[in-house]
Amino acid sequence: MAETPPGEVTQLLQAWSGGDGAALEQLTALVHDELRRLAARYMRRERPGHTLQTSALINEAYLRLVDARHVQWQNRAHFFAVSAQVMRRILIDVARSRQNLKRGGGARPISLDEALAASPERSADLLALDEALERLAVLSPRQSQVVELRYFGGLTEDEMAEVLHVSPRTVRHDWGLARAWLYRELTRET
């Protein structure tokens, strides 16, 4: 047996797969906690008075995790990799549903004010980014995965290095190059 137990998330996952449903709830709470923190930070900084549908995000995460139960989590790194994947799918679905909503005529004109609020950091167009990531995966699957792990999964450099079995330096390089390439792809005039 391993000499040391894995981190909490893995423990929770193992407990969960061991039939302890409460563990999944704890896991969900962990994710929820993080989302709340992010959402609150975002709200404070930029647009007070607006609402976030974090619970919708979480519910989706929860359902998808349950669906993905037959995926065997073997360690923390694997879990992170899978979570990043799950988060990516969820967030892309969110973006897609918004887009459909707009196409479907439920469109609300976006004021200049809001457009300005959105532009300074160029909040990434998630759908375009998703597609660009697929193109990047053709050139370098690892670089594409680095973006997935960091941007969608929130992994640190060291964690990514662990998942990908490369040095943190390589991860840093991959991230820099991938980001430059993606930025160019997404800002390219068409």
Partner 1 sequence: MTPERWERVGSLYAAASELPTERRADFLRDACGDDHALRDEVASLLASGEAAGAFLNSGAIADAAKIVAHESVGSLVGRTLDHYEVVSLVGSGGMGEVYRAHDSRLGRDVAIKVLPELVTQSDDARRRFVREAQAVAALSHPNVRSLYDVGETDGHVYAVMELLEGETLRARLARGPLPVQKAIETGAAIADGLAAAHARGIVHRDIKPENIFIGSSGHVKVLDFGLAKMPDAPGVGANAETATGIVIGTAGYMSPEQVAGMAVDARSDIFSFGCVLYEMLARRRAFERRTSAETMTAVLNDEPPPLEAAGAGVRRIVSHCLEKQPEARFQSAQDLAFHLRSQLNLVDTEKHADARTDRRRLWPALAALFTIATVVLSLVHFRQAASPVRPVRFDVQPPEHLTFSGGAFALSPDGARLAFVTASGETPGHRRLWIHAFDTGEAQQLSAAGDVGGNALAWSPDGRKLAFVAEGSLRTIALSGGSPTTLAPAVGVSTWSADDVIMFLRDLRLMKVSAAGGSATPLTTPDPAHREVHYAPQFLPDGRHFLFSRSSVAGGTSGVLVGSIDARPEQQNSRPLLATHGRAAYAPSRDDAQVGHLVFNREGTLWAQPFDAGRLELTGDPILIAEHVGEPENPQRPGFFSVSRAGALAYRRQPTVSGIPVWLEANGRTTTPLLDSPVTGSEQIRLSPDGHRYAMTIAGDIWVYDLGGRPPIRLTSGGGNDMPLWTPDGKRIVYARGIPSYRLVSVPADVAGATPEPVSPDGHFHPHGWSRDGRELIAVLNTYSSATGWDILGIPVGEKGEPRIIVGTASDEGQAGAALSPDGRWLAYTSNVTGASEIWVQPYPGPGSPILVSPHGGMDPHWAPNGRNLYYLENRKLMAVAVDVGKPAFTFTPAAFLFDIPAPAASFPVQSYDVAKDGRFIMGKAVSTGASSPITVILNWAAALTK
Report the nearest approach of partner 1 to the CB of residue 134 (Å).
Answer: 4
Contact, 94 vs 120, CB < 8 A? no
Is the Cβ of residue 78 or residue 168 nearer to partner 1 in the bound state? Answer: 78
Report the nearest approach of partner 1 to the CB of residue 158 (Å).
Answer: 9
Taking the alpha carbons of 130, 89, 17, 58 in that order, is the dihedral positive or negative? positive
Tokens of 163: 């998942």
Contact, 71 vs 82, CB < 8 A? yes
In angstroms, rounded to a whole number, what is the distance separating the alpha carbons of residues 146 and 161? 9
Report the nearest approach of partner 1 to the CB of residue 3 (Å).
Answer: 9
Report the nearest approach of partner 1 to the CB of residue 53 (Å).
Answer: 5
**What is the SS3 assignment for 6?**
coil
Is the Cβ of residue 4 or residue 190 nearer to partner 1 in the bound state? Answer: 4
